[in-house]
Amino acid sequence: MKRILSLVLILFLWSCDESSVNKDDLHYLNGYWEISEVEFPDGSIKEYGMNTSIDFIQLKEDKGYRKKMKPQFDGTYDTSKDVENFEVSNINETFTLRYKNEFSEWEEKLVQLDSVSFSVINQEGVTYKYKRFEPIKIPQ
């Protein structure tokens, strides 16, 4: 019974948490992002320093895609052909990214978004924090 009550409480808090994201800010998702930290439901945090891969996100209206990229020293990017398509839904001013492919479906709630950072929380309660990717500039 305690497990069920705990699960209901977590789901209730997750659904009631107000998002600080406005529809007018969604365009900030466009561009290159790198993960900065992951916070787990138990409160533990994994911080990321240098990332070998980054995410490219492109959003137009309520549909978009996310693609993994590997920055190169010459300023170009290597990428695979894999793309994760998503749709943005707005329920009670809370924006959710809904992903679906032939293998699975999942969603992430957008909890913070501005021009230099954003964060999402998934259905398991794991929070992913991203920062705008800044390429390394090597003097010539």
Q: What are 39-84's pLDDT values in tens digits?
A: 999 999 999 988 899 999 999 999 999 999 999 888 889 998 889 9
Please write down the HEC assignment for all residues of 85-97: EEEEEEECCEEEE
What's residue 9's pLDDT?
Answer: 40
Read off the pLDDT of each residue in 102-125 and give the average, rounded to a whole number. Answer: 96
pLDDT confidence tier of residue 102, bands split at 50, 70 and 90: confident
Residue 6: is its pLDDT beyond 70? Answer: no
Which domains, and CATH codes, for the chain?
Answer: 19-132 (2.40.128.280)
Asked if 56 and 32 count as a contact pair (C-beta separation under 8 A), the reply is: yes
In this prediction, residue 19 carries a pLDDT of 55
Report the b/e string of 20-37 with b at 16+ CB within 10 A: ebeeebbebbeebbbbbe
Report yes or no: 69 and 79 within 8 Å, Cβ to Cβ: yes
- pLDDT, one tens digit per residue, over 8-39 is 344 444 444 555 799 999 999 999 999 999 99
pLDDT at 15: 46
